[in-house]
Amino acid sequence: SPKMTEAEMLMEEKLRKKKEEEEEMWAEYLEQRKKQRAKEEEELRKLKERQMKRKAQRAEQEAKLMEFKKKQEEQRIREMEEKKAREAEAKRKRLEEAEKKRQAMLAAKEKREQEPVKPNFVITKREGEDMASALGSSGFDKFTNIMYARGEMGKTKEQMEEDKKAILSFRIKPLEIEGLTVEQLREKAKQLWERVVSLESEKYDLEERQKRQDYDLKELAERQRQINRSRALKKGLDPEALQGKHPPKIQVASKYERRTDRRTFTDKRELFSGGLEAMIDAESEKQWEEKMLSFKESARSGLPKWDPENPKNKQVSRTRRMEEEDEDEELEPVFEPPKPVETPKPAPPAPKPAPPPQQEEEEEEEEEEEEEEEDEEEEEE
């Protein structure tokens, strides 16, 4: 090989040093990259661990919350059931007490009916009147009927159904006929039949009581209506003024006036706030129009010549107007396009329009002569 020069050797040495530096830099970069990747992987692992831990904590919290809500719902349902049970028990006790009182009253009534009664006064009964009607006509029975009816009317449909179910559950008892002999079954059937008869009699009594209650309510409503009517008449009001839910309006006028004032308070207030003057003006305007119309109708036959309301003057003015319109239509200029002229020439001056004929003056003179002749004929007649 040829012998290298000093310059080439220097160049070769520089290239070798540069290559070594690049290799060192690359190795250092790879080492840093490896450390960075290990660090990122460690951070990612820690992040995933924290995420899993938070997820587990969240699931545990949700489970605790669901369990707490479930316990609250169970407690609420249990409290509602206990409340319903207490209400049902209280209602059942009230119904039992009412049933016991009713049974005691029925027993006392039967006992009182069976005992001989010796009154120290004489009762004059009318024909066709039974015991139920006699009892229904008493004031105390009527008052009790009304109070009971008002109490029943205050209940809703659901409350009535609940009371019905509770009463049926209390009254309808299960049959215990297992192991009974024929004689015992006959005795049981006899007891059931007596029970049906007593229930039917109670049903009839209740129906009669309802009829009496309806009649008493209608009677009281009619009596109240008559009382309100008499009160309204005493106060000078309309008979039906006190029938509504609200009291009647205050009447400003006295009830001792000759004519009853049916106007409302608003109408009377408008009269004092300027409505009276407006009413007087409207009335005077109406009277003026009526008098003017009657005057025109009465004086239409003998109107003077100078009056524009005279039919002859109206006809003359109408004919004049029509003639003027015809003349205006005749004198209306017609536009014609200019004709092409080869050599322009000065246009001659336009002639002045001829004066209109004295036709109107002649017609007026003729009409005046005719009117004078007619007037002379009327005077001669």
Written in H, E and C, the secondary structure of 177-192 is CCCCCHHHHHHHHHHH
Query: Which of 246 and 329 is assigned the larger pLDDT?
Result: 246
Residue 78 forms part of a structural domain = yes
Task: Name 205's Cβ contacts closer than 8 Å, sequence gap at least 6.
Answer: 132
Is 293 within a domain? no
Check: CB of residue 344 under 8 Å from CB of residue 337: no
CA distance 107 to 113: 10
Q: What is the pLDDT of residue 152?
A: 65
Domain count, the chain: 1
Question: Does residue 134 register a pLDDT over 50?
Answer: no
Q: How far apart are CA 329 and CA 312, in angstroms?
A: 26
Residue 137: band (very low, low, confident or very high) from pLDDT cuts 50, 70, 90 = very low
pLDDT value at residue 279? 85
Please, are residues 240 and 232 in contact by the beta-carbon 8 Å criterion? yes
pLDDT category of residue 136 using cuts at 50, 70 and 90: very low
159 vs 340: which has the higher pLDDT: 159
Band the pLDDT of 8: cuts 50, 70, 90: confident
pLDDT of residue 343: 55
Q: Does 64 reside within a domain?
A: yes
Token representation of residue 303: 């109107």
For CA atoms 306, 309, 313, 317, give the dihedral sign. Answer: positive
Q: Which DSSP category does 126 fall into?
A: P
d(CA 363, CA 324): 13
Q: Return d(Cα 105, Cα 267) in angstroms, integer.
A: 63
Grade residue 106 by pLDDT with cuts at 50, 70 and 90: confident
pLDDT score of 245: 81
CA separation for the pair 243, 226 (Å, rounded): 10
The verdict on residue 54 lying in a domain is yes
Say what the pLDDT of residue 29 is: 94
Instruction: Supply the DSSP symbol for 122.
Output: -
Residues near 216 by Cβ (< 8 Å), separated by ≥ 6?
142, 145, 146, 149
Q: Is residue 171 situated within a structural domain?
A: no
Closest CA relative to residue 145, chosen from 219, 100, 210, 204? 210
Residue 24, in any domain of the structure: no
Looking at the domain assignment, is residue 378 inside a domain?
A: no
Q: How far apart are CA 372 and CA 192, in angstroms?
A: 124
Token pair belonging to 289: 């129009």
Q: Is residue 215 part of a domain?
A: no
Closest to 367 measured CA to CA, from 305, 324, 283, 307? 305
Distance between CA atoms of 149 and 136, rounded to whole angstroms? 14
Specify the range with the lowest mean pLDDT, choosing from 124-133, 239-248, 372-381. 124-133
CA angle at 218 for the pair 214 and 222, rounded to the nearest 5°: 170
Inform me whether the pLDDT recorded for 131 exceeds 70. Answer: no
118-122, 143-147, 162-166, 175-179 — which is least confidently predicted?
A: 118-122
Domain that holds residue 44: 36-83
